């Protein structure tokens, strides 16, 4: 499974990229607003920092506006992916960009039927929001399973990008369900490496090594 980080904080992206853990980045208007920076400047900086796909979301709600904004954003860098809402206008724009060879990420997916429409529109990525469904006491992970089965049934090439990830368990379950990508907050990505037994084992190794009085270098 590929890991995208879901943030607009450059320092977090740089840190994870330096660890070699990043395959791409997703942003959205809320994340950009939290950064307090100019949207286009942030996207351009991220694209220079990361080789993989960088999702940049349009603000327009109608087809013409989405096309105008998306085509502008696509010119920022070759690795920009145009993020579009899962509406009829958004799906129409998705088909437009797909026809021009521009990658798309159709976002705010909450049902298998919506994901089916996105695949038929030629979306590069579909972003089902796991955590927001869980918030409504609906099993968000079941949606990943449903989309995976539908896409496999018909050979759709759209990548399932598990979004609204809240925990390490979400990451594990999305991987087991067959998601192609998970877009994850920085803290959750770093937390995947943590385990109490790993820490306990390292502490014991350090004590045993110190007792030998030796040095490797």
Q: How much is the pLDDT for 89?
A: 98
pLDDT given for residue 32 in this prediction: 84
pTM: 0.94
pLDDT value of residue 182: 98
Q: What angle do CA 24, 134, 25 make, to 5 degrees?
A: 10
With a cut of 50, list the residues of the chain below it in pLDDT. none
Looking at residue 57, its pLDDT comes to 96
What pLDDT shows up at residue 180?
A: 98
Q: Which pLDDT score, from 0 to 100, does residue 101 have?
A: 97
Tell me what pLDDT residue 63 has. Answer: 98
Homologous superfamily assigned to 2-212? Aldolase class I (3.20.20.70)
φ/ψ (deg, to 5) at 195? -155, 135
State the pLDDT at residue 126. Answer: 98
Q: Round to whole Å and give the CA distance between 116 and 156.
A: 9
Whole-number Å distance between alpha carbons of 15 and 61: 34
Q: What is the pLDDT of residue 169?
A: 97
Active site residues: 83
């Amino acid at each position: 499974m590929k890991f995208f980080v879901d943030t607009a904080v450059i320092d977090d992206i740089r840190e994870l990229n330096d660890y070699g853990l990043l395959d791409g980045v997703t942003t959205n208007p809320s994340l950009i607003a939290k950064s307090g920076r100019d949207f286009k400047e942030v996207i351009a900086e991220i694209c220079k920092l990361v080789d993989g796909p960088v999702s940049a979301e349009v603000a327009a709600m109608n087809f013409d506006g989405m096309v105008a904004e998306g085509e502008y954003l696509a010119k920022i860098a070759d690795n920009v992916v145009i993020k579009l809402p899962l509406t009829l206008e958004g799906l129409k724009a998705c088909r437009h960009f797909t026809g021009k060879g521009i990658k798309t990420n159709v976002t705010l997916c909450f049902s298998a039927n919506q994901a089916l429409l996105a695949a038929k529109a030629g979306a590069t990525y579909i972003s089902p929001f796991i955590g927001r469904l869980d918030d409504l006491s609906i099993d968000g992970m079941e949606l990943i399973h449903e989309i995976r089965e539908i896409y496999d049934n018909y050979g759709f090439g759209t990548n399932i990008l598990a979004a609204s990830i809240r925990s390490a368990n979400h990451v594990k379950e999305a991987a087991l369900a067959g998601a192609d990508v998970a877009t994850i907050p920085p803290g959750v990505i770093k937390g995947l490496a943590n385990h109490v037994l790993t820490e306990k084992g390292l502490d014991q190794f350090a004590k045993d090594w110190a007792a030998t009085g030796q040095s490797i270098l």
